[in-house]
């Protein structure tokens, strides 16, 4: 048993992959609490797909892929804000339009680069075993930046999420704070690109946070539990992928989903079974 | 003798959403410690007026002065108690968390809660009789308890002006009484209060001032004068039936949520 856990870690690429997965699991889960509470799941998914053309253009210009991804994510986040702020179309419609457009542009650009075809699946589903030391540094620094911002701006983010009217009476810049939260979300998604890929990052944002929501009634605790579940899913998922020889991103997401289902059924207060029991006992 | 400014003064205020003008020609003054009931049919602009006063909606034209200075100069002197339907009750916060938000104006973005903040929070909880609920999730409370949480938050804010949107709708009688008792207590502290309601009886019996609103002020003054049959007829149009001395308004209450 012990040996089974140690063996994979004798490879340097597995060590790097594990650390990267843990960073992504924790950062996604923490920022994911706001994604879940503010109903931004669709936004998160859209931002992830919007990264695709950024990467393709960066590749064509032979620039840094991560920076390309970051620029694209920020641009789309702000564009969604511009489109929906006019009030002429709803935000989810604006997201739907930009999300499909960005994805199409990305696929069009990438399909024009023949030699790049193999790497497309890595972008879509992640390539945790291909994490380089410099990737790891970048993920670490950006991850700490996001976590520090969430901790420092706890009060303003809580207020704009729970009670925007209070933010207005306090004269706090709600618009700026909303955009800042979007920027942090974009950073998180870029960090996650390497491990879970464009297609699955939304699950890492939503699933651990939704699981934690079922288990607590306070936001700081929710963030803590979500981080633990995110880290646990990354760890278990990575071992699963090593021994069962399945794609790592998928293994991580499936582990997180299993955690969610357990909480959905057995959570002490909000789970389906405990609610039934409570109902029966009251009769 | 020094001249005392009216606490709240509106002149020719107009406001609305996306090109639609909901309020216009709104001018009135509220003296220090005045308690005003804002009465009018659904969609008359009661909530819009409050949104303008808290700074959530921009002014189209006109001027709002608080202590003789434009809106926004005094950053923390207006508190707002939202309608229960405006709050996301599934949000993972406890009663104490919500009431502590009333202290955020003093703490700022980065400041921590001081012992004084905790004392103010417990004092507010105590005044509303919900100290034992401090660590309960807001989603687990009854409608009346939920309302008391937001009243306690407004108390913790120690405001000069308190706005309450339909606080008498969809709550039990004891919460209504607790709200009215709170109004009396705040009157002694010279807190200026505006309460929107569609309950004409409540407005007539428990408030000294009434603002009768239907997109523009129909009447503003002491309750008996403002609520004359003629004024009520003008504000509510065909939805009022006057039998002898009694005015019956055919006005459905805002939807109650469970």
Q: Quick check: is B42 in a domain? A: yes
User: What φ, ψ does residue B159 adopt, rounded to 5°?
Assistant: -80, 165
Q: What residues in A contact B92, CB-CB < 8 Å?
A: 37, 213, 216-219, 221-222
Give yes or no: residues B168 and B255 share one domain: yes
- Tens of pLDDT, residues B108-160: 888 888 999 999 999 999 999 999 999 999 999 988 899 999 999 999 998 88
- CB pair distance less than 8 Å for A171 and B110: no
- CB pair distance less than 8 Å for B56 and A213: no
pLDDT of residue B152: 94
Q: Quick check: is B184 in a domain? A: no
Cα–Cα distance measured from residue A204 to residue A187, given in angstroms and rounded to the nearest whole number: 14
Give yes or no: residues B60 and B132 share one domain: no
- For residue A48 the two structure tokens come to 């992830």
Q: Quick check: is B201 in a domain? A: yes
- CB pair distance less than 8 Å for B76 and A219: no
Contacts 24+ apart (CB under 8 A), A7-14: A8/A238, A8/A239, A8/A242, A13/A129, A13/A130, A13/A131, A14/A129, A14/A238, A14/A242
Give yes or no: residues B133 and B224 share one domain: no
- Chain B residue with minimum CA distance to A214: B92
Average pLDDT, stretch A128-149? 90
Cα–Cα distance measured from residue B25 to residue B37, given in angstroms and rounded to the nearest whole number: 19
pLDDT of residue A264: 92
Average pLDDT, stretch B25-41? 90
Q: Quick check: is B36 in a domain? A: yes
The share of chain A scoring above pLDDT 70, in percent, equals 96
Q: Is the dihedral of CA B90, B80, B95, A164 positive or negative?
A: positive
Give yes or no: residues B100 and B224 share one domain: no
Listed by start position, the domains of chain A span 2-276
- CB pair distance less than 8 Å for B56 and A165: yes
What lies within 8 Å, CB to CB, of A212 at 6+ separation is A29, A33, A221, A222, A223, A224, A225, A226, A229
Q: What residues in A contact B56, CB-CB < 8 Å?
A: 164-165, 168
Domain of B106? 83-158
First-to-final CA distance of chain A: 48
Contact A21, A71 (CB under 8 A): no
pLDDT of residue A102: 87
- CB pair distance less than 8 Å for A169 and B54: yes
CATH of A2-276 among 1.10.3470.10, 1.10.287.990, 1.10.3720.10, 3.30.160.60: 1.10.3470.10
Across the strands, what pairs with B248?
Answer: B241
Cα–Cα distance measured from residue B56 to residue A78, given in angstroms and rounded to the nearest whole number: 22
Instruction: Please indicate if any CB of chain B lies within 8 Å of the CB of A163.
Output: yes
CATH number of B218's domain: 3.40.50.300
B172 CA: distance to closest CA in chain A (Å): 24
CB contact residues (below 8 A), chain A span 88-127, against chain B: none
Nearest beta carbon to residue A165 from set B82, B97, B137: B82
Nearest beta carbon to residue A156 from set B92, B109, B137: B109
Mutate one of B15, B73, B88, B92 to test the A interface: name it (highest A CB count within 10 A). B92
Q: Quick check: is B178 in a domain? A: no
The DSSP result for chain B, as a single string, is: -PPPPPSEEEEEEEEEETTEEEEEEEEEEE-TT-EEEEE--TTSSHHHHHHHHHTSS--SEEEEEETTEETTSSTTSEEEE--GGGS-TTSS-BHHHHHHHTTHHHHTTTPPP-HHHHHHHHHHHHHTT-GGGTTSBGGGS-HHHHHHHHHHHHHHT--SEEEEESTTSS--HHHHHHHHHHHHHHHHTT-EEEEEES-HHHHHHH-SEEEEEESEEEEEEEHHHHT-HHHHHHHHGGGEEEETTEEEE--PPPPP--
- Tens of pLDDT, residues B70-122: 877 776 688 999 888 888 999 999 999 999 999 998 888 888 889 999 999 99
Give yes or no: residues B71 and B9 share one domain: yes
Residues in chain B whose beta carbon is closer than 8 A to a beta carbon of chain A?
18, 51, 54-56, 72, 75-76, 78-80, 82, 86-88, 91-94, 97, 101, 104-105, 107, 109-110, 137, 139
pLDDT of residue B1: 37
Q: How many domains does chain B have?
A: 2
- CB pair distance less than 8 Å for A166 and B80: yes
B164 CA: distance to closest CA in chain A (Å): 13
Identify which of A175, A183, A198 has the alpha carbon closest to the alpha carbon of residue A53.
A198
Give yes or no: residues B168 and B135 share one domain: no
Give yes or no: residues B165 and B44 share one domain: yes
- Chain A residue with minimum CA distance to B51: A165
- CB pair distance less than 8 Å for B56 and A155: no
Nearest beta carbon to residue B75 from set A158, A171, A216: A171
pLDDT of residue B255: 46
pTM score:
0.87
Give yes or no: residues B169 and B220 share one domain: yes
Q: How many CA atoms lie within 13 A of B245 on its CB side?
A: 2
The share of chain B scoring above pLDDT 70, in percent, equals 89
Contact B231, B218 (CB under 8 A): yes
Give yes or no: residues B129 and B48 share one domain: no
Give yes or no: residues B254 and B167 share one domain: yes
- CB pair distance less than 8 Å for B79 and A171: no
Band of pLDDT at residue B2, cut at 50, 70 and 90: very low
Q: What dihedral angle (degrees, nearest 10) is formed by the CA atoms of B80, B82, B86, B90?
A: 100
């Amino acid at each position: 048993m012990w040996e089974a856990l140690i063996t994979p870690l004798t490879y340097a690429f597995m060590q790097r992959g594990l650390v990267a997965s843990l960073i992504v699991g924790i950062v996604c889960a923490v920022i994911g609490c706001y994604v879940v509470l503010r109903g931004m799941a669709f936004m998160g998914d859209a931002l992830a797909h919007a990264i695709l053309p950024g990467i393709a253009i960066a590749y064509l210009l032979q620039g840094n892929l991560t920076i390309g991804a970051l620029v694209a994510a920020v641009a789309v986040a702000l564009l969604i804000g511009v489109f929906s702020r006019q009030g002429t179309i709803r935000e989810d419609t604006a997201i739907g339009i930009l999300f499909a457009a960005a994805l199409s542009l990305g696929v069009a650009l990438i399909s024009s680069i023949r030699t790049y075809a193999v790497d497309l699946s890595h972008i879509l589903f992640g390539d945790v075993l291909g994490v380089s030391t410099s990737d790891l540094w970048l993920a670490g620094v950006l991850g700490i930046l996001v976590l520090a911002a969430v901790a420092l701006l706890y009060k303003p983010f809580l207020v704009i999420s729970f009670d925007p009217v209070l933010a207005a009476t306090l004269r706090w810049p709600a618009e700026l704070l909303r955009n800042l939260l979007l920027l942090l979300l974009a950073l998180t998604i870029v960090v996650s690109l390497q491990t879970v890929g464009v297609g699955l990052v939304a699950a890492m944002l939503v699933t651990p946070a939704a699981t934690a929501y079922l288990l607590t009634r306070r936001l700081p605790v929710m963030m803590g539990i979500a981080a633990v579940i995110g880290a646990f899913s990354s760890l278990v998922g990575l071992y699963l992928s090593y021994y069962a020889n399945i794609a790592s991103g998928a293994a991580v997401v499936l582990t997180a989903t299993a955690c969610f289902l357990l909480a959905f059924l057995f959570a002490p207060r909000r789970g389906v079974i405990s609610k039934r029991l409570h109902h029966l006992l009251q009769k | 003798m020094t001249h005392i400014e009216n606490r709240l003064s509106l002149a020719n205020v107009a406001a609305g959403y996306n090109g639609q003008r909901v309020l216009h020609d709104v001018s009135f003054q509220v003296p220090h410690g005045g308690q005003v009931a804002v009465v009018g049919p659904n969609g008359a602009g009661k909530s819009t007026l409050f949104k303008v006063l808290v700074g959530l909606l921009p002014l189209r034209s006109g001027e709002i002065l608080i202590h003789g200075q434009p809106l926004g100069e005094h950053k923390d002197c207006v508190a707002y108690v939202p309608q229960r339907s405006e709050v996301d009750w599934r949000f993972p916060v406890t009663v104490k968390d919500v009431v502590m938000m009333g202290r955020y104006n003093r703490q700022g973005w980065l400041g921590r809660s001081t012992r004084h903040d905790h004392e103010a929070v417990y004092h507010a909880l105590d005044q509303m009789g919900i100290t034992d609920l401090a660590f309960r999730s807001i989603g687990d409370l009854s409608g009346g308890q939920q309302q008391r949480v937001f009243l306690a938050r407004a108390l913790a804010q120690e405001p000069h002006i308190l706005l309450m949107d339909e606080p008498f709708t969809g709550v039990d009688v004891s919460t209504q009484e607790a709200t009215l008792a709170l109004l009396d207590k705040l009157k002694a502290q010279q807190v200026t209060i505006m309460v929107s309601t569609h309950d004409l009886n409540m407005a007539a019996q428990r408030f000294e001032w009434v603002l009768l609103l239907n997109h523009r002020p129909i009447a503003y003054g002491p309750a008996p004068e403002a609520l004359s049959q003629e004024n009520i007829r003008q504000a509510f149009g065909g939805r009022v039936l006057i039998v002898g001395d009694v005015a019956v308004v055919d006005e459905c209450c805002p939807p109650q949520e469970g």
